[in-house]
Amino acid sequence: MITTKMEEALNEQVNAEFYSSYLYLSMSAYFVRKNLPGFAHWMFIQTQEEAAHALLFFNYVNERGGNTNLSAIAQPNADWESPIHVFEAVLAHEQMVTGLINNLMDVAIQEKDHTTNNRLQWFLKEQVEEEANATAILEQLKIVEGKGQGLLLLDRELQLRVFVNPLLPGGAV
């Protein structure tokens, strides 16, 4: 059985992950408007990934006998100045999510919830990957100054991203 404190913290994380999904969907729409289909595709894959993360937390609370409580998802930003500004926002958001996962780990340690601690290890590793990907794309955008042929080449490269569903057998956790 999961403790009330851990259950509440995990339910907050479900909301945060769905917000992340919603934010990246908004970013995908921004890139569609800017006629950058590769960037839009990359963000749409990110949308799916974050929704899957939310469902992983949701399912985990249920598996542990807890109550899942869904709350309203805040409205994300819908417009940015440039692709560089979008990826600056992505990196800042992923750093914030890393902090949230670290806080969950703190709660798991305080509650002596070794099972949740173990489950959170995957999310900690995932956040390292998320921040590294955002940083790499942001740095490439800065190199090409977010425009011109370099932007179009990067757009084509981002079109190749494939969603790997962590909810399926052989997936994440």
- Are 136 and 142 in contact by the 8 Å Cβ rule? The answer is no
Average pLDDT on 59-77 reads 96
| Chain-centre distance for alpha carbon 147 | 26
pLDDT greater than 70 at residue 124: yes
- CB contact set of 10 (below 8 Å; sequence gap of 6+): 2, 57, 60, 61, 66, 104, 116
Average pLDDT on 11-26 reads 98
The domain spans of the chain are 4-158
- Name the CATH topology of 4-158: Ferritin (1.20.1260)
Rounded distance, CA 155 to CA 15, Å?
30
- CB contact set of 127 (below 8 Å; sequence gap of 6+): 94, 97, 98, 101
pLDDT greater than 80 at residue 132: yes
Single pTM value for the model: 0.94
pLDDT greater than 90 at residue 173: no
Using 50, 70 and 90 to split pLDDT, how confident is the model at 7?
very high
Average pLDDT on 73-87 reads 97
pLDDT greater than 90 at residue 114: yes
